[in-house]
A and B are shown apart, each in its own frame.
Chain A
């Protein structure tokens, strides 16, 4: 373990910036919550940036301070794991716009002394990546050995390779896409409207009395959560089973609107658990950043152009039951990589768990990630 206060879990830093944003304007200063694991090699050549998904955080392999749960990718990142912290220096930072230590709508606007709320600038995936680059500068990391991410994390990995080709040696893009589809945007709009329809949202200015639009955010989470699962997975887990009650252990219809079905109860629980750990305005901003993401558009409409300057190796993985970012989206990325002459690997793995599969036990995914990374160390 290093004595350097920049390294370790539960870190945060305020960088002077300024960060020039895609939407125009500058952000300065810039707070970033982050964690590092392992030891940076003297030549700096063993750094891996792990990028988190929409509602993820920097606690990739450490206990979450609010929920007490293990890190969200503890089965992938750690000593002896595929992303082996005995060998690699792993960095994971809370994305710009989020609410776990990085600048976002819930942090204080230095110009007013009050939380930004909806005054926070609308940000993009590339803005998140540029903020991460500033963090890596601070940490003394030049070129990344690898950038790895699933879902929105995969979009950051793609954006990294396109924005900083000289700083990325390899990229792992799991269950992701090079752009948000109309269906993706549509689901996000349902979530945003649920938040904004909650009277407690109050135009995003709800921080003062600590009374956030929890009901709206819970509904947004419930709708989104369905898209993370597969129909077959839901059927296997819940089917039409009814919720057990004290007087009816096997459950019974109430002929009312309680959570009769187990799947209803499960979704309500998911919604309520989410509002304890996430800020409603952050949810609006990050879903917006995802909807704006279209890597081809940033490169003259041709996705292959995004990768022309890149000498990186790419590993693209999809899951057969993921209907949020289906295999066809990954194939689009792979076609572009081939057209650009990039070194690309791609595999569609089988899983019953839909989009969430990338977070769950998957020996095949472990083997692919481990082997792909090891090939870069030779």
Chain B
């Protein structure tokens, strides 16, 4: 399988196998005009299998979304075909408008203008809670 090397853009590496598509959807990459590649189930010496996303454009990505879906990824920033920066993320403490609260009794279900805010509750289990109603959301669900 050949996927062109990118000139200026971002490579999100070490995504746990199976989470690449979720990340693609949450980051809204389907709306981009530039080339975007998802590599699923690539061989990895550390992880066995992994997903990789390559974005061939110099865009800002929402690091909170990436941290929520796959906190242990590596983000490689590419400029002029060269790797210029490598970033690790970790689980974000707060998520703003990344996920929506599913509790029908939550004020976010009716108050249209407010942001959906979740706070990290249990880093080990990757569990967040809605800042308004405390309903749990797990990154694995």
A binds B: no
**A interface residues with partner B (beta carbon < 8 Å):** none
